[in-house]
């Protein structure tokens, strides 16, 4: 009797080791799965300086720690009823010293790259307050409008979708009567169509001052969001089909990315809506009264974009519920198969357990036909369970 007991102990130890190894494997798999689902999604980040808590206000604090290797591109466009000219510069001093045309014109100075010394030189040349210069450098601003005696400062957000990555960039506008200055974080924007329109000798650009150019650039920023949302809409349709066919952790990761991007767009668009509303009601005289209708059109476009955005956010939430439902249904199917398989083996395990006991006097063990009868009983019960499951519609289709 000692040998069966020792064998049972060894079997118990082996079973315990196997369970421990299986639990360790499952735990590590779950941890790796979590890393895959919640890993951060790559985005373009632009290194911009931040002011230290309690630092003095103004741009002076940034001049002391300026990165002289930061690339800067300067473009000066002069246009008017008598022509159009474009000049590029590497130094801001040369751009500011460029003589103005004798004929009436509008000057657009576009600066790519936020080098503090360049921003400071522009602000000093045009008499812009040092706090406004700091707002240009500090690129975490909410879209806003500041109106002064002879100019206004507008901070807006530009959204672009490139390489399946959403880029959120700050655009700063300094609007004067006949001059518009724009500061961009990096090279690349959505103003290409506006530049092409400026090269033509016809159109409203030749009639109005810098306020119409400002409207055109702001309108380009808003209109460029429509194709972005269309791309997200197409991606959601594809994801819906993917989730229905085969929900995976990759689908969940992409869905989280989309929901975060949509939230980012919402945070960027709502302040622009308020900004355009203030421009529409502005009474400083820097915006021609006839252009108020155009700014109202921009406001209508923003409302359309926000409506689409809210719709897609609801769709993303619905896809999250669909993903959870699909994963739950898939898990239910797996559990159904495992339960049915276990149900077939439960009676067989019962018989095997009864006749596998270490009792000396079990009547059936000495019977000549015990073994075939045992298998016959097992097969009969399995066949009976199969018929029962089939009649219930659990296997082989549903009734």
Work out the percent of the chain whose per-residue pLDDT is above 90: 20
Asked if residue 81 has pLDDT above 60, the reply is: yes
Alpha-carbon distance of 319 to 114, in angstroms, equals 40
Mean pLDDT computed over 58-83: 83
Superfamily name with CATH number, domain 60-326: CorA soluble domain-like (3.30.460.20)
Q: What is the pLDDT of residue 97?
A: 92
Q: How far is CA 99 from CA 87, 103, 118, 194, 238, in A?
A: 12, 12, 19, 24, 55
Burial class (CB in 10 A: 0-12, 13-18, 19+), 70: middle
Asked if residue 155 has pLDDT above 50, the reply is: yes
Asked if residue 164 has pLDDT above 80, the reply is: no
Alpha-carbon distance of 143 to 166, in angstroms, equals 18
pLDDT band at 57 (very low <50, low <70, confident <90, very high): confident
Q: What is the pLDDT of residue 25?
A: 43
Quick one: which of 131, 136, 130, 134 has its CA closest to 154? 136
Residue 96: CB atoms within 10 A of its CB come to 16
8 vs 284, which has greater pLDDT? Answer: 284
Whether residue 283 contacts residue 203, with contact meaning beta carbons closer than 8 Å, is answered with no
State whether the Cα torsion 126-129-133-136 is positive or negative: negative
Domain boundaries, the chain: 60-326, 357-399
100-145 per-position pLDDT tens digit:
888 878 999 999 988 899 999 999 999 998 888 888 988 888 888 9
Mean pLDDT computed over 61-82: 84
Alpha-carbon distance of 236 to 138, in angstroms, equals 34
Q: What is the pLDDT of residue 54?
A: 62
Task: Provide the token pair at 76.
Answer: 């000066």
* Residues forming a β-bridge with 85: 78
| Longest distance between any two alpha carbons in the chain, whole Å | 121
Q: What is the pLDDT of residue 69?
A: 78
* pTM for the predicted model, two decimal places: 0.72
Residue 215: CB atoms within 10 A of its CB come to 22
Quick one: which of 133, 125, 134, 111 has its CA closest to 184? 111
Q: What is the pLDDT of residue 38?
A: 30
312-330 per-position pLDDT tens digit:
889 888 888 888 888 888 8
Q: What is the pLDDT of residue 52?
A: 66
Asked if residue 18 has pLDDT above 50, the reply is: no
pLDDT band at 45 (very low <50, low <70, confident <90, very high): very low
């Amino acid at each position: 009797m000692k040998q069966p007991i020792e064998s049972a102990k060894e079997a118990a130890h082996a079973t315990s080791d196997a369970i421990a190894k299986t639990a360790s494997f499952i735990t590590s798999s779950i941890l790796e799965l979590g890393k895959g689902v919640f890993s951060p999604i790559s985005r373009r980040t632009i290194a911009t300086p931040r002011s230290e808590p309690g630092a003095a206000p103004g741009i002076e604090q940034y001049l002391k720690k300026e990165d002289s290797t930061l690339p800067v591109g300067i473009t000066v466009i002069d246009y008017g009823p008598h022509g159009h000219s474009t000049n590029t510069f590497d130094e801001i001093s040369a751009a500011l010293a460029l003589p103005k045309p004798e004929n009436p014109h509008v000057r657009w100075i576009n600066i790519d790259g936020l080098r503090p010394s360049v921003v400071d030189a522009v602000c000093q040349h045009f008499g812009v307050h040092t706090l406004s210069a700091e707002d240009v450098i500090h690129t975490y601003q909410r879209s806003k409008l500041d109106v002064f005696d002879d100019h206004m400062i507008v901070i807006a957000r530009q959204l672009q979708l490139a390489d399946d990555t959403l880029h959120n960039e700050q655009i700063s506008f300094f609007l004067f009567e006949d001059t518009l200055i724009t500061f961009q974080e990096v090279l690349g924007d959505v103003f290409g169509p506006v530049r092409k329109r400026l090269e033509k000798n016809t159109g409203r650009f030749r009639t109005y001052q810098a306020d119409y150019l400002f409207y055109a650039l702001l309108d380009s920023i808003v209109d460029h969001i429509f194709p972005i949302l269309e791309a997200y809409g197409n991606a959601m349709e594809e994801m819906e089909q993917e989730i229905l066919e085969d929900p995976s952790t990759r689908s969940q990761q992409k869905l989280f990315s989309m929901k975060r991007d949509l939230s980012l767009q919402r945070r960027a668009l709502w302040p622009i809506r308020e900004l355009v509303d203030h421009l529409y009601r502005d009474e400083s005289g820097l915006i021609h009264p006839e252009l108020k209708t155009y700014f109202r059109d921009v406001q209508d476009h923003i409302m359309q974009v926000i409506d689409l955005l809210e719709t897609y956010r609801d769709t993303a939430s619905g896809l999250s519920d669909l993903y959870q439902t699909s994963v739950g249904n898939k898990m239910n199917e797996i559990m159904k198969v495992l339960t049915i398989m276990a149900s077939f083996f439960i009676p067989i395990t019962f018989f095997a357990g009864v006749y596998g006991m270490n009792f000396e006097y079990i009547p059936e063990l000495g019977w000549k036909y015990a073994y075939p009868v045992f298998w016959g009983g097992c097969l009969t019960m399995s066949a009976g369970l199969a018929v029962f499951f089939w009649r219930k519609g659990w296997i082989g289709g549903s009734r």
